[in-house]
């Protein structure tokens, strides 16, 4: 895979956060937070529909960015 291809953000989009999982991951890397706090601070899932929380958790785990509450 080329460097350019890796730049493409094809991660799922969370409407409630108005952000892609990739953007949420980048916020989490800049300021690591436990998952429940992440949902409120880095994402809008805590006050949103919550429908992508399970998927977001899996995404963060897969990228070594998941912190247990």
Do residues 28 and 63 touch, judged by C-beta distance below 8 A?
A: no
- Considering only residues 37-66, where is the footprint of ligand FES by CB under 6 A? 45, 48-52
Q: Which of 16, 27, 33, 57 binds ligand FES (CB under 6 A)?
A: 16
19 near ligand FES (CB under 6 A): no
- Segments in 1-69 forming alpha helices (H): 3-7, 21-30, 35-41, 53-62
Do residues 25 and 59 touch, judged by C-beta distance below 8 A?
A: yes
Binding span for ligand FES by CB under 6 A among 3-11, 15-23, 27-35, 59-67: 15-23
Angle at alpha carbon of residue 10, lines to 52 and 59, rounded to 5°: 40
Q: How many residues make contact with ligand FES (CB under 6 A)?
A: 10
User: Residue numbers of the site for ligand FES (CB under 6 A)?
Assistant: 14-17, 45, 48-52
């Amino acid at each position: 895979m080329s460097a350019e291809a890796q730049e493409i953000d094809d991660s799922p989009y969370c409407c409630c956060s108005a952000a892609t999982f990739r953007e949420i991951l980048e916020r989490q890397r800049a300021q690591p937070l436990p998952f429940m706090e992440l949902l409120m601070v880095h994402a809008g899932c805590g006050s949103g529909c919550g429908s992508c929380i399970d998927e977001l958790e899996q995404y963060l785990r897969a990228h070594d960015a998941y912190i247990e509450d």
